[in-house]
Amino acid sequence: MPMTDAWQTAEIPGPKKASLILKPDIADALISRAKRPIMIVGHGIVEYEVDGKPMIECLIALARKAVIPVVVSASTNREFLSREFEPAAIMSAVEISSRLTDPEWKGLDGKEPYDLAIFVGLPYSMEWTILSGLKHFAPNVKTMTFDCVYQPNASWSFPNSTIKDWAANLKGIVENLED
Amino acid sequence: MSRKSVSVSIKEIDSDLARFRDLNITIGAITRERWDEPMGPSPFPSLTTLRPWDRLLLSRYKPFYMPFCDLCCLCTYGKCDLTGTKKGACGISMPAQQSRVVLLSACIGAATHTSHAREILTHTIDTFGRDCPVNPGGTAVEVEAPITRLVCGIKPETLGDLEPVLDYCENQLTQLLAVTHTGQEGNSLDFESKVFHTGMIDHLGMEVADLAQVSALGFPKAEPEAPLADLGLGTIDAKKPVILVIGHNVPPAAAIIDYLREHDNAGDVEVTGICCTSLDLTRYAPKAKIVGPISWQLRYIRSGVPDVIVVDEQCIRTDTLTEAEKIHAPLIATSEKNCLGLPDMTHEPADAIVAAFVHGDVTGALILDPEKVGEVASRVALALHPKRKKHGSMPTKHKIAEMAKKCTLCMQCRRACPNDLPVAQAVKLAASENLSGLDELYDDCLGCGRCESACKQKLPIHSLIVSAAEKQTRDETYCLRTGRGAIQDIEIRKVGGPIVLGEIPGIVAFVGCANYPKGSREVADMVTEFAKRRYIVCTSGCAAMSAGMSRNEEGKTVYEQFSGAFEAGGVVNVGSCVSNAHISGAAIKIASIFAKRPLRGNYEEIADYVYNRVGAVGVAWGAMSQKAASIAAGFWRLGIPVVVGPHGTKYRRMLLGRADRGDDWMVYDARSGESVYGGPVPEHLFIAAETKEEAMVLIAKLAMRPNDTSKGRANKLANYIDLHKRYVGGIPGDVYRLVRTPADIPLTLKDEVDAHLAEHDWKESSIPDPTLLSRMVHAKKVA
């Protein structure tokens, strides 16, 4: 299937559509360039593995290396806590996303607004609609998704990928950050 | 008041002046006032009467828009790209466009309920007369129509008295729909106010519909222990002739029961139903059987069990005729709103229609006469049953494997699945005669059939799933307490105090459709959780069925485990979609009966009371329809928050509060008139949760109100914290915002909460006598 078709066939996007993250370097550059990134993690991540390890471990490694605060929805919190990683906040995905549309909101720590929001693990259509909200109403926040399917309403998204390719990309992102 | 109180009918008269035959004279709008409560400030409110109240709510709960489409394509200027700050050719912005679409959706929903109400009212008046008393519960229900009293300022005594209420609904809906025309409203918050107005009208229409059918059709009248009815595919005796009714408007289905009873065939034919018609049918005849929610349509029809299918209106698959033809079951359409291209045989003799069906001359017919539907459906079922031999369209297990071998793993089925289920992988597995993958999909499948439409090999994927899950379908033998209708006044008196003071931690209403992220069982799980925690749990519509489609370790459904009374720990099935009016009505009655607030035409004060004091939360976990949107809007205007499942984000906007902004949560203390901090409760008015665990924690939090006493707040906090610890992990991070005084802290959690408060530099605050309305301040001074 074309890399930039929405994963759910009928979720036709546009005119404005996400640019593709075709290799890890792109994501790394976006993360490195961001002054205030934040990651929003949904419960879907528990279903996936990267190199035989739960994907959540890859995200934790990423968050630690890039110093990215992680906001989790309710059901995902335990997965992080059990790996001795404390999320910055537990909030519903719509609530944290709504906050991101407020240019005066200075973040969870009250310091300054976020400029990059990374989404992963939400139900596809829920993430689709939330990213649409941010595309239209959070002009100062770039959005990126780490899911293995194309999310057209993000600023940057992986293409529709096999789990194997996607896992390799995620692993590459973390490794590059180490370098 | 009665619109048409005096009617004179003259069969024939000869006079010097003229000769009259069949002369009917009706004198309309005669006031018959028997209600001494003084009229409040807002009877029959217009589109803007309650705008100030809406603005108060919307100043706290700001819309978060999530456009489902970046374009507007509603006029020939378009398509217009509204991305970001771009404007359409008419000047409309994206926020206004989104709220406009929300209003359109709510208008569709409210028009549907109101139209349904008109059909029921016309039918019951035609059958039982305009003077048939409004009677939702005899002497147990003196406040017979709380929404009508509140919104219209009238006290209906007869069915005829309900006509001006519907006239008003229809008038308002016409105006509300007009608001969405190009070049009308341009401000998103004004659109939102009109969404609220539409919701209020929707609840009014629903109240009229249920009052009429409960009063005239002999449904349970506010009975806490209404009879139990069978629920599930496994309860149906397929050896008998089977009639399936689908939809919402019960008269044709009731006429089937009448015909069978009158002809001593009641025990010979299974009358089964899907969606709200079946709920209302079991209120009429508890031995009728409920197959399941709307998502059961394809699976049941394809099973071949129904010998005749009767559809009325709303939420019916529009390809039902095609599916019915596949199993050689005649289809009877009964509503002008849903003709399905069928020949109108309303005026044909019943004998001729029956013969046409039995001989196969027609596969479907439109019959706009409920009585004739009753006769035709019954006779055709009896006549066709031996011939059809339950001809179904499900593949055998061997055939499944054969078909599955054609799968190319193109993934189109999965990409079409609303729940992103691993359909292709399951089909591929089935090719090796391993049906476990398909079997596992059954529970989470919405029954939409989009996978089949997408399949390039034209595999009947939904049928493969259902056939593979044959054992599961056989085991669907549940029960449901039939819809009781209204809540008794005495029940309100008993629970009013504990609810308002917070000692009963809340009322949770599970309503709406079956567009669930993970199957029906999640609704049953949530209902059980909150009933065990001594919340008052209400159910209605498809959610009421889903609540019953699960059993505990002892083999009991929630309706067998918990009482049907409106009390702590009760599971109260009010009935069908239109019975939702009894849930909002109960909140209103708490203000009226328990708190003795004047009801008549006094919307703002009552909504202010409900918002600040009645810890009610609506949950539409599988909300799908426009009707669900308008039902939610009716709750919002009363200040009752609504939680939806993840698919609910497709309604395009949330109404979210900001607990971090203290200024947003100021209320008047009615005792002093001072503007004081009331706390972020309820924190949101409309929010989508991702999982049932997140939803449960949210529900417990959203049941808090500024008026909670310390004992009540401690009870609510104990539930909130416990649910959070169980399903999320640890103490919630916002407890410090919800504790006002040390007495609010649950005793069993004191050490943990004290430590949390110390971390957050918590300071004690007072508990106000809260109101958002300056005119409700008892003292003269208003800050």
**How does pLDDT run across B403-426, given as a tens digit for each residue?**
999 999 999 999 999 999 999 999
Distance to chain B for A81, nearest Cα, Å: 8
Q: Which residues form the domain of B668?
A: 478-776
Q: Is B638 within the bounds of a domain?
A: yes
Provide the pLDDT confidence category of residue B10 given band limits of 50, 70 and 90.
low
Distance separating alpha carbons of residues B220 and B482, to the nearest angstrom:
8
Shared domain for B101 and B200, answered yes or no, is yes
B604 occurs within a structural domain: yes
Express as a percent the part of chain B with pLDDT over 70: 95
- Cβ within 8 Å, pair B420-A136: no
Q: What is the pLDDT of residue B317?
A: 97
Looking at the structure, tell me whether residues B149 and B232 fall in a common domain: no
pLDDT of residue A166: 87
| Cβ atoms of residues A153 and A74 within 8 Å | no
Q: What is the per-residue pLDDT across B700-727, written as a single tens digit (0 to 9) for each? A: 999 999 999 999 999 999 999 999 999 9
Contact B366, B343 (CB under 8 A): yes
| Cβ neighbours of B656 in A, within 8 Å | 94-95, 98
Using the predicted structure, report yes or no on whether residue A71 has a pLDDT greater than 80: yes
State whether residue B67 sits within 8 Å of chain A by CB.
Answer: yes
Final residue belonging to a domain, choices B163, B192, B217: B217
Helix, coil or strand: residue B214 = helix
Of B66, B84, B693, the CB nearest to A75: B693
Whether A15 is in a domain gets the answer no
Mean model confidence pLDDT for chain B: 95
**Local confidence band at A3 (pLDDT 50, 70, 90 cut-offs):** confident
User: Residue type at A23?
Assistant: K
Q: How far apart are CA B101 and CA B93, in angstroms?
A: 12
Residue B235's alpha-carbon distances to B93, B227, B475, B478, B557, in angstroms, are: 53, 16, 9, 8, 14
By C-alpha distance, the chain A residue nearest B82 is A136
CATH number reported for the structural domain that contains residue B131 in this entry = 1.10.8.190
Return the sign of the alpha-carbon dihedral for residues B566, B569, B570, B576.
Answer: positive
Residues B727-751 pLDDT 10s: 999 999 999 999 999 999 999 999 9
Domain extent at residue A40 = 20-178
User: B620-673: per-residue pLDDT in tens?
Assistant: 999 999 999 999 999 999 999 999 999 999 999 999 999 999 999 999 999 999
SS3 B442: helix
* Structural domain count of chain B: 5
Q: What is the structure's pLDDT at B1?
A: 47
User: What are the φ/ψ torsions at residue B293 (nearest 5 degrees)?
Assistant: -70, 180
Instruction: Report residue B783's pLDDT band, with 50, 70 and 90 as the boundaries.
Output: very low
**DSSP state at residue B62:** E
Whether A31 maps to a domain, the answer reads: yes
- Res B771: pLDDT: 98
Q: What is the DSSP letter of B469?
A: T
The reply to whether A10 falls in a domain is no
pLDDT for position B2: 46
Q: Is the pLDDT of residue B30 over 80?
A: no
Give the list of residues 6+ apart from residue A29 with CB closer than 8 angstroms, or none. Answer: none
- Minimum CA–CA partner of A11 in chain B: B68
Residues B134 and B64 in one domain: yes
Query: Do residues B580 and B690 share a domain?
Result: yes
* β-bridge pairing B62-65 and B653-656: antiparallel
Choose the closest CB to B70 out of A9, A14, A97: A14
pLDDT for the residue B412: 96
* Structural contact between residues B306 and B272, judged by C-beta atoms closer than 8 angstroms: yes
Is B296 within 8 Å of B320 (Cβ atoms)? no
- Integer Rg of chain B from CA: 27
* Residue B17 pLDDT: 65
Q: Who contacts B125 (Cβ-Cβ below 8 Å, separation ≥6)? A: B132, B159, B160, B163
Chain B hits for A97, Cβ within 8 Å:
64
Q: Six-digit token pair at B417?
A: 């699945």
Residue with tokens 């600023």: A155
A83 touches chain B (CB under 8 A): no
- DSSP state at residue A158: P
- The 3 state secondary structure assigned to A25-42 is HHHHHHHHHCCCEEEEEC
Domain boundary among B350, B373, B388: B388
- Length, in residues, of chain B: 783
B233 has which bridge partners? none
Type and span of the H or E element at B299: helix B297-302
ipTM over 0.95: yes
Claim to verify: residue B235 and residue B126 sit in the same structural domain: no
- Residue B6 has a pLDDT of 54
Residues of A in contact with B652 (CB under 8 A): 129
- What span, in angstroms and rounded, lies between the C-alpha atoms of B477 and B232? 5
Is B418 within 8 Å of chain A by CB? yes
- What is d(CA B506, CA A2) in angstroms, rounded to the nearest whole number? 50
* pLDDT for A178: 61
Say if residues B201 and B637 touch (Cβ distance below 8 Å).
no
Give, in order, the Cα–Cα distances in Å from B557 to each of B483, B488, B527, B538, B560.
Answer: 16, 24, 11, 15, 5
Supply the DSSP symbol for B488.
P
Give the pLDDT band (50/70/90) at residue B765. very high
Residue A11 lies in a domain: no
Spatial separation of the C-alpha atoms in residues B503 and B713, rounded to whole Å? 8
The distance of Cα B481 from the centroid of its chain, to the nearest Å, equals 17
List b or e across B141-163, with b for residues whose CB sees 16 or more CB atoms inside 10 angstroms: bebbbbbbbbbbbbbbbbbbbbb
Query: What 8-state DSSP symbol labels residue B30?
Result: B
Based on the fold, state whether residues B648 and B699 are members of the same structural domain: yes
Is B41 part of a structural domain of the chain?
A: no
Give yes or no for residue A116 having a pLDDT over 60: yes
Torsion of CA B464, B470, B473, B474, to 10 degrees: 160
- At B309-344, the pLDDT tens digits run 999 999 999 999 999 999 999 999 999 999 999 999
B533: contact with A, CB 8 A cutoff: no
Residue B8 is predicted with a pLDDT of 60
For residue B66, what is the nearest residue in chain A, using CA coordinates?
Answer: A133
Q: Does A1 score more than 80 pLDDT?
A: no
End-to-end CA distance of chain A: 34
Q: Is residue B591 part of a domain?
A: yes
Q: Do A15 and B70 make contact, defined as CB atoms within 8 angstroms?
A: yes
Same domain, B157 and B250: no
* Same domain for B205 and B239: no
CATH code at B238?
A: 3.40.50.2030
At B223 the three-state DSSP class reads: coil
CATH code for position A167: 3.40.50.1220
Is residue B373 within 8 A of residue B250, CB to CB? The reply is no
Q: B517 and B438 in one domain?
A: no
Domain tally for chain A?
1
**Is residue B86 situated within a structural domain?**
yes
Strand B228-231 and strand B80-81: the pairing is: unpaired
- Report yes or no: A93 and A62 within 8 Å, Cβ to Cβ: no
pLDDT, residue B20, reads 66
- Res B25: pLDDT: 59
Does the pLDDT of residue B22 top 70, yes or no? Answer: no
Q: Phi, psi (5° rounding) for residue B366? A: -95, 120
3-state secondary structure of B518: coil
Q: Using CA atoms, how far apart are residues A114 and B245, in angstroms rounded to an integer?
A: 54
Residues of B in contact with A8 (CB under 8 A): 415-416, 418, 420
Domain boundary (B408, B438, B466) is at B466
Domain co-membership, B373 together with B293: yes
**Residue B180: DSSP 8-state:** T
Q: Does B647 touch chain A (CB under 8 A)?
A: yes
Which residues 104-163 in chain A show a CB within 8 A of chain B?
122-126, 129-130, 132-133, 135-137, 139
Whether residue A94 and residue B652 make contact (CB cut-off 8 A), yes or no, is no
Instruction: Judge whether A109 lies within some domain.
Output: yes
DSSP B375-403: HHHHHHHHHHHHHHTT---PPPHHHHHHH
Q: What pLDDT is stored for residue A4 in this prediction?
A: 81
State how far the Cα of B58 lies from the Cα of B24, in Å rounded to an integer.
51
Is B350 domain-assigned? yes
Tell me: do B570 and B606 sit in the same domain: yes
Dihedral sign, Cα of residue B480, residue B482, residue B487, residue B491:
negative
Query: B18 pLDDT exceeds 70?
Result: no
The verdict on B499 and B612 lying in the same domain is: yes
Whole-angstrom Cα distance, residue B72 to residue B92? Answer: 9
Mind telling me how many Å the CA of A132 is from chain B's nearest CA? Answer: 5
- pLDDT, one tens digit per residue, over A126-164 is 999 999 999 999 999 999 999 999 999 999 999 999 888
Contacts of B444 in chain A (CB under 8 A): none
B contacts of A10 (beta carbons < 8 Å):
416
For residue B521, with 0-12 CB atoms within 10 Å meaning exposed, 13-18 middle and 19 or more buried, which class applies? middle
The helix (H) or strand (E) run that includes residue B414 is helix B412-416
> What's the gap in Å between the CA of A178 and the closest CA on chain B?
31
What's the confidence (pLDDT) of residue B778? 84
Q: Give the distance from residue B648's alpha carbon to the nearest chain A alpha carbon, in angstroms.
A: 8
Q: Examine residue B42 and state whether it is found in any structural domain, yes or no.
A: no
pLDDT band, very low/low/confident/very high, at A82 (cuts 50, 70, 90): very high
At A147, give phi and psi (nearest 5°): -75, 165
Residue B45 lies in a domain: no
Q: Does A4 touch chain B (CB under 8 A)?
A: no
Q: What does B262-290 look like in DSSP terms, one character per residue? A: HTT-TTTSEEEEESHHHHHHHHH-TTSEE
pLDDT band, residue B32 (cuts 50/70/90)? low
Q: Which one-letter DSSP state was computed for residue B609?
A: H
Q: Is there a domain that residue A8 lies in?
A: no
| CA distances for B542 relative to B276, B290, B464, B572, angstroms | 7, 10, 24, 14
